[in-house]
Amino acid sequence: MGSLLFTKFVGVISMLLVFARAGCPFTAIYGFGDSLSVVDHLASAFHLPSPKPYLQKDKAYGVNFAAPGATALNSSFFETREIFKLFSNNNTLDGQIEQFMTYLDTICSSHHGCVKKLKHAVFLVGEFGANDYSNAIFQGKQLEEVDYYVTPVVKSIKDAVKNLIEAGAVNLVVPGILPLGCLPSYLTMFHDDDPMSYDSKKCLRSFNTFAMLHNDHLQQALTNLRVEYPHVQIVYASYYKAFTALLHYHDLLGFEKGSLTKACCGTGGLYNFDAMKMCGSEGVSVCSDQTKYVHWDGFHLTEEAYIHMVEGFISGNFVYPKLKLRDRRLCIM
């Protein structure tokens, strides 16, 4: 039954990709978050060039404001709780929105002009939240305390979406977070000898339950925004469900079963992850074929994993409601 469903899933993707060659729904794409990969693959699916980073030139088809380690909450939130950001940069969601507003001033001179300019643009707002929680959890904060961070994190995401809508955005995709308990970093840092701490996918139950808490709150916030802005397409993308589908269909997708909880770029231990010697450090090796791996460095996924996730989103899987691909225009590529 699973194979039959997946065959149908692949068939739908193939049909959509063929149709996409004849026309594309969007003329620009704007990315916010901490990963460059998803927005690049989403752009490719819509036959758009990858959006250029904010500080680069040639931004005719959109801009990528994403930066590694970006958080939904500002630095002051962490400082008051004596939490240090795992990444040295100070990049936040507020900062990325400010950069977008500055950029907007360079491409349109009036609100009406901006609305017209952004009518056929798509916005990928996230993923946000995982870095906020990881900053706290990896520095000893208990889940019972971090539970209280969910409300301000989701509020920050909701406020950012509202600001983009008020600026003229009408097509927005807002992802939830991955199942944190499946990441090699979490599996290493919080290894437990009790088999009941793990689910059938060998992921830590408690952290996955927490991730679902965030995602549930985010979906409710987006539901409220749809009521407030009925003319705007606000799509929730479930990274959680898309990721679990990768694990479930790993053999059909070409991922090695033995690598499903291991980092491609890393060293040591059951999960090929060492917090003191992470990917990019001297002496840390990279797997020979990353297309066989789901995880890249213990925190992020591989390009291959992101490609399959985006294919799922475009096909209408793991997105709520489905992305409406109306008003298609000629492909740029």
Catalytic residue, candidates 134, 300, 308, 315: 300
Q: What is the largest CA-CA distance in the chain?
A: 61
Catalytic residue, candidates 35, 134, 156, 259: 35
Q: How far is CA 174 from the centre of its chain?
A: 8
Whether residue 297 lies in the annotated active site: yes
Catalytic residue, candidates 40, 132, 274, 297: 297
Residue 107 carries which side chain, given as an amino acid letter?
I
Q: What CA–CA distance (Å, rounded) separates 151 from 70?
A: 18
Q: Are 32 and 127 in contact (CB under 8 A)?
A: no
Which residues are catalytic, by number?
35, 297, 300
